[in-house]
Structure 1
Amino acid sequence: MSETFFSPCPRSLESFLVDELKRFGASDIETVHGGVQYKGDWLLAWRTNLESRIATRVLWRVGMTRYRSEDEVYKLAYATTWAKWFSPEQTIRVYVTAIKSPLKSLNFTTLKVKDGLCDHFRTVVGKRPSVDTEAPDMRIHAFLTEDMCTLYLDTSGEPLYKRGFKPAKVEAPLKENLAAGILRLSGWQPGESLLDPMCGSGTFLVEAAQMTLNIAPGLGRGFAFEKFRNFDAGEYRRLHTSLLNQRLPVRSLPVFGADIDPYQIAATEENLAAAGLLEQVELVVNDVLDLEPPTAEGTWVSNPPYGVRLSTGDELAEWYPKLGDVLKRRFAGWNCYFLTADTQLAKLIGLRASKKTPLMNGDLDCRLYEYKMLAGSAREVFK
């Protein structure tokens, strides 16, 4: 039976999500700004949760109507057959987002969706679920346009960029699905050299290593759909086992990380170890300005410190030209990518960007700058 799903994703990465969904077997794919709508069966929903590196969630459409008032939103929530899919013993949380909605208060609309859902349960089974704003069993999403209200039941639970293994956190974090999208935007292919010389907690490195070894990103975590009444545990177990068996043998990889801060390298080591990838990635404590390239050519990706988060503007104004000199003198033959919210990088680095892609890193409006360095001689070692 075909169902309708919607997966939000980081802006500018929609085409990569479409590529994934086609590979998973989705049909009737429609792209919108910041996400993709598509159709398929529950196996598709499971696969997307387990295998997508770009999607933020997999939302299952369970109700839709035209509306003009909060009462009509309430009626849709009341008429939706929630009790078929989960029990009143499971906790809920309602989220409402809107574009050009005539309704004046999203908080009040959220309350009406919750009331409709709870009244549905009272009518059908005589009791209502309770709200848990921290770790709900079921997340309900309402999306309002100018005249349409759509209800979704979240099949993912925690957002999909939470891969389920990352214990060490650092300042200026990068979401995993954004990191995976940047790797796709760079044109890097598994098996090619990859360097993050300011690796933070190692997000680029973990994503690249998993991609190279064909490790599905969701294998180590659970999902909300496992709590649905219609969940087929046996069929899901077969899919999960199949993906486990598709992993490639563990081996040393041409994936390299560096950072000037030993604490950051320790965080990267902790996260790589939690992902079972510590021995596959080479790490060093080193200042990016002193770094030598690990191979003759490859892809450099980094989310460098910028004024909003970590450094002062004066410090960065002095640092950016030095960084540009390092690329010119030592990294000939490399394609280099910088994600930053600081437009001073492009002005001061002393290089002409061949491409710049707008991206959002959390609430920060960023650009991914591409610098393709002309090929030349390479240094001998990764120091």
Structure 2
Amino acid sequence: MAKNFKMLAKTLYGLEALLAQELRQLGASNIEIGTRNVTFEGDMGFMYKVNLCCRTAIKVLKPITGFNVFTEDDLYKKVYEIPWEQYMEANGSLAVDATVYSKQFTHSQYIALKTKDAIVDRFRDKEGERPNVDLDHPTLRINVHIDRNICTISLDSSGQSLHKRGYKIENTIAPINEVLAAGIIMLSGWQGQCDFLDPMCGGGTFLTEAAMIACNIPPNLNRAEFGFETWPDFDVDLYEVIEEAALKKIKDFHFKIYGYDKDPLALRKAKENVRNANLSEFIELEVQDFFATEKQTERPMYLVFNPPYDERISVTDIEKFYAEIGNTLKRGYPGTQAWMITSNMEALKHVGLRPSRRIKLYNGKLESKLVRYEMYEGSRKASKQ
């Protein structure tokens, strides 16, 4: 029977409970929620499954050792003692990422450099040759985490961040992170039970993530590679079994996903991204100014969108722009749940609608609010009766 081991999945602030729920549904054990991370246990096949199937994970780390450190020399000596030849060949390549929360150690790049030196020196001393550094496609990506004086060394099973799904070939200005987009859709409660609209769709990230959620398509199916594929113990047959099992769980979707944008160039990029994800049959894209539209059917609908914040995309009159969002929702979109993320709290006041829910998230480094507006048919009172 395959042996279980401890892992840590990183995520974005505010998505920790969603990630724990995903891990639980996939079959993880001993789940514990942290800040921007969730720890859990599973075997090698489960590690493959989490990388392939988790929508809200950014990294999946496999800790290999932990120790106390008090100086940089301490770190060097203890990293040097790790039998790195078990994890890679001397002629391979490596990359080291470090995060530090410590008064003693304050410079993460220096910690990464010191770790790299220790590994390289061990190989040179023991085997007469040393691995190279390759930041983009290393044989082994190593994570160093120092919390006060406790150092944890992990292998990064994901490689590049898992938000890089592999479908996005055309980027627009201020695109939303794929993990954040999936998390927002999951927080909204939409699972494919009705129509879905992103009225300011840009490069189509919300649309693509929504289609994958509706059809239960593994989010990282289009990725070129995972970190674990270059590990000495990578079991390609086991990975193919995991992938095949996930593909068998794909399901039909019986509603429509719509995307509007008034910028034809943005819409062209969205079409390319959607086509690259093999999701064109589920997503309809139109050049439309949201403020000149109304709902096309009487069926229930979810709106999920990321309007300009007047940060990376400037708007001439941001307060008027947000007021127009509220007017359009009131006038043209009865019977909808509208979810919107923004970091512009002042402009948000001008929407003129009372949010029924507010959730704190971060879009990059911008503290943001995800808000829900419930647009009832007729009056709210009538809908309750």
Match of 1:99 in 2: 101
Query: What amino acid maps onto 2:66 in structure 1?
Result: M
In structure 2, the CA distance between the partners of 1:36 and 1:142, relative to structure 1 (3 Å rule), is: same
Quote the residue 1:15 is aligned against: 17
The residue number in structure 1 matching 2:232 is 229
The question of whether the paired residues in 2 share the 8 Å contact of 1:340 and 1:368 is answered with yes
Change over 3 Å in CA distance of 1:291–1:88 after alignment to 2: farther
Partner of 1:380: none
Once residues 150 and 224 of structure 1 are traced to their aligned partners in structure 2, the CA distance between those partners, rounded to angstroms, is 19
- 1:114 paired with 2:122, answer no
Alignment partners' CA distance in 1, 2:60 and 2:352: 42
**Selected match of 1:305 from 308, 317, 336:** 308
Match of 1:340 among 332, 339, 342: 342
- 8 Å CA contact 1:256, 1:294 repeated in 2: no
**Equivalent pair of 1:346/1:353 in contact (CA under 8 Å):** no
1:2-28 residue CA offsets vs partner (Å, 9 max, x unmatched): 222111101100001001111222112
**Corresponding position of 2:250:** 247
Deviation at 1:322, TM superposition (A): 1.6
Kept in 1, the 8 Å contact 2:100–2:106? The answer is no
**Correspondence for 1:156:** 158
Shift of 1:252: 6.4
CA contact (8 A) 1:258 1:286 kept: yes
* Deviations, residues 130-168 of structure 1 (Å, cap 9, x unaligned): 112343332211111112001111111111111112111
Aligned residue runs from structure 1 range 63-212, under 5 A: 63-212=65-214
CA contact (8 A) 2:139 2:231 kept: no
Name the residue aligned to 1:5: 7
User: Aligned AA for 1:71?
Assistant: D
Distance of aligned partners of 1:275 and 1:72 in 2 relative to their CA distance in 1, 3 Å threshold: same
Shift of 1:51: 0.1
Match of 2:48 among 22, 46, 49: 46
The 1:359/1:225 distance shift into structure 2, 3 A limit, reads same
Aligned residue runs from structure 1 range 316-327, under 5 A: 316-327=318-329
Please tell me the residue identity of whatever aligns with 1:129: P
SS in 1 for 2:183: helix
Deviation at 1:327, TM superposition (A): 1.0
Percent of aligned pairs with the same amino acid: 36
The answer to whether the 8 Å contact 1:209/1:253 transfers is no
Q: Which amino acid aligns with 1:370?
A: R
**Distance between the aligned counterparts of 2:358 and 2:78, measured in 1?**
43
Counterpart AA for 1:214:
N
Distance 2:45 2:118 in 1: 30
Q: Determine the C-alpha separation between the residues in 2 that align with 1:154 and 1:360.
A: 24
Computed over aligned residues only, the root mean square deviation of the Cα atoms, in angstroms, reads: 1.6
Q: Which amino acid aligns with 1:186?
A: S
Question: Aligned partners of 2:275 and 2:168: how far apart in 1?
Answer: 9
The answer for the alignment partner of 2:382 in structure 1 is: none
> How far apart, CA to CA, are the structure 2 residues paired with 1:189 and 1:218?
18
CA distance in 2, matches of 1:305, 1:176: 17
Q: Contact 1:252 / 1:281 at 8 angstroms: preserved in 2?
A: no
**How far, CA to CA, are the matches of 2:147 and 2:103 in structure 1?**
5
Please state how far the C-alpha of 1:295 moved relative to its aligned partner.
3.3
Structure 1 counterpart of 2:215, from 202, 209, 213: 213
Match of 2:286 among 278, 284, 304: 284
Q: TM-score, normalised by structure 1?
A: 0.94
